[in-house]
Amino acid sequence: MRHRKTKTIGLLALLIMPVLAGCGLRGDLRTPPPIYGEDLRTDEQKAEAQKAIDAAKARKARKAEATDSTDN
């Protein structure tokens, strides 16, 4: 009985994996707007957040460039 339960759980896990693999966003993730009310961040906070986003994009571009140069 225990062996059958283990096989059933394993089979269910294998069947569910492709469904879960499709659950995800590709590309850069963006912070959604506030659900309730308006965006109360100051201009300074917005600029700081944009600066962090730009730095992350630059790091990603450098990493992709480094990967491309090592492939050749």
Q: For residue 69, is pLDDT > 90? A: no
Q: Quick check: is 63 in a domain?
A: yes
What's the rounded mean pLDDT across residues 44-62?
A: 92
Q: Work out the pLDDT band at 34, boundaries 50, 70, 90.
A: confident
Q: For residue 60, is pLDDT > 80? A: yes
Number of domains within the chain: 1
Percentage of the chain surpassing pLDDT 70?
88
Full residue range of the structural domain in which residue 51 is found:
41-72
Q: Which pLDDT belongs to residue 59?
A: 92
Rounded CA-CA distance 15/7 in Å is 12
What's the rounded mean pLDDT across residues 60-71?
A: 81
Non-local CB neighbours of 41 within 8 Å, separated by 6+ positions: 49
Q: Quick check: is 18 in a domain?
A: no
Q: Quick check: is 12 in a domain?
A: no
